[in-house]
Homo-oligomer: A and B are copies of this chain.
Amino acid sequence: MILKLSRPNPAVLAALEDLGCRARVLTFPFGTFVVALGLDPSALAAFQAMDGVAWARTAGSRPILAAREQCPEGTRVPLGAIEVGGETLSLMAGPCSVEDREQILTTARYVAAYGANALRGGAYKPRTSPYAFQGLGQAGVELLREAGDAAELPVVTEVMEPGDVAAMTPFVDCFQIGARNMSCAPLLRAVGRSGRPVLLKRGPSATLAEFVLAAEYILLEGNAQVILCERGIRTFETATRNTLDLNAIPVLKSMTHLPVVVDPSHGTGLREAVIPMARAAVAAGADGIVVEVHPDPSRAKSDGDQSLHLPEFRRLVEELRPVAAAMGRRLDLPDALPFGGTQIPLIRRAMGWGGSR
């Protein structure tokens, strides 16, 4: 059972305690809730009638706290200088993996100069093959922090197991839950309790309903600073690494009040498709873009094929600007950007062949 309080009433908690129920009170900008799981549904009516109780609901298979109706105006998640979900577009950029100090510092300074408002980079890397680069671990987290500080950007990085949350928390502005771990309840609970914002990536075979339910795990720990990230789903199509599902944007916006950003790097797997799909995401109503950028993608230890070169990031921002304006969104950029230089060709490789079976 979940109750929404319209005003504090200690009798509510006392009544729950009398029933032997260990209730928790969650306070969000959009209201105060009491979570009392395991209670017999027959108790509902009595609580519903209590003073200070706006409503009481039986928990079922749908999200309650993350549902749009709890916060029709939409949640904004503060991250560095902006609020994700606010008027300014969120632009999280950086390499797939933190590889060394120079790589991450160079990238951080470049993307900060051209409009990024958060720095992303992986230190703990979930890899399909145990022989692939597994990331620098905690050392990588600390390098990322250093680069974020140098470029004055908040940092976002993935956490892969609950046991790592405590050591990472002092260095991290926003925890990322990777697509493979979207439905890993212990991890969702751990980042929920961290007090940090969470960038939650959609699992490659998760429905949108399941995606919002994963966010609900985090909210149930009292943390509503959850940013949902569409990053492509796995389908039969092999021309692209994943199928970026932009339908997710309007549908999620109707399901939940949480902000929605899009990762066109994983969503396509093709550098040449990243900028068009970033534009499309903004036009569909996304609150921001998460994008992989690397000083030398050909030498990247992971995901080089989908990482933008540094000047391509500048071009991305250049191309996003008019689309953002059309959508009434802002991109906060330094005044004197040297835009309009050399034209960067978008399509350099033939994409898509090899895909008939």
Q: Is the CB of B208 within 8 A of A253?
A: no
Alpha-carbon distance between A183 and B357 when the two chains are bound, in angstroms: 13
Chain A interface (Cβ < 8 Å from any Cβ of B): 37, 59-62, 68, 126-132, 134, 160-163, 180-181, 183-187, 203-205, 207-210, 212-214, 216-217, 220, 233-247, 249-255, 267-270, 272-273, 276-277, 279-285, 322-323, 325-327, 346-347, 349-357
The listed residue (B60, B127, B203) touching A131 by CB distance below 8 A is B60
Residues of chain B contacted by A216 (CB below 8 angstroms): 129-130
Q: Are B184 and A61 in contact (CB under 8 A)?
A: no
Report chain B residues within 8 Å CB of A134. 185
Contact of A273 among B162, B180, B187, B247 (CB under 8 A): B247
A178 vs B345: C-alpha distance when bound (angstroms): 34
* Pair B250/A208 contact, Cβ less than 8 Å: no
Number of copies: 4
- Which of B210, B276, B323, B347 is the one whose CB lies under 8 Å from A356? B210
B276 touches A129 (CB 8 A): no
- Within 8 Å CB of A212, what residues of B? 352
A286–B323 alpha-carbon span in the complex (Å): 14
Given contacts A180-B184, A205-B205, A216-B130, contact A245 B238 (CB under 8 A): no
What is the chain B residue whose CB lies nearest that of A37?
B131
Kindly report which residue of chain B lies nearest to residue A233, judged by CB atoms: B235
| Cα of A99 to Cα of B233 in the assembled complex, Å | 35
Of A160, A268, A283, most B-chain CB atoms within 10 Å = A283
Candidates B62, B183, B235, B240; contact of A353 at CB < 8 Å:
B62
**Among A131, A180, A184, A186, which residue has the most Cβ atoms of chain B within 10 A?**
A131
A243 touching B251, Cβ below 8 Å: no
- Cα–Cα distance between A60 and B354 once the two chains are bound (Å): 12
- The 3 A-B pairs of least Cβ separation, nearest first, read A205-B205, A283-B283, A59-B131
- Report chain B residues within 8 Å CB of A241: 357
B162-A163 in contact (CB<8A): yes
Residues of B within 8 A of A184 (CB): 126, 160-161, 180-181, 184
The residue that A162 contacts in the complex, of B161, B233, B323, with Cβ under 8 A, is: B161
Q: How far, in angstroms, from A347 to B253 measured CA to CA in the complex?
A: 9
Q: In the complex, what residues of B have CB within 8 A of residue A351's CB? A: 250-251, 254-255
Identify the closest chain B residue to A241 (Cβ).
Answer: B357
By beta carbon, the residue of chain B nearest A130 is: B217
Q: Can you list 9 A-B contacts (CB < 8 A)? A: A130-B213, A207-B355, A210-B355, A235-B243, A239-B251, A244-B245, A280-B283, A283-B323, A323-B323
B59 touches A127 (CB 8 A): no
For A350, list chain B residues within 8 Å (CB).
Answer: 68, 254-255
Known: A205-B234, A237-B245, A356-B61. A127 touches B251 (CB 8 A): no
B247 touches A243 (CB 8 A): yes
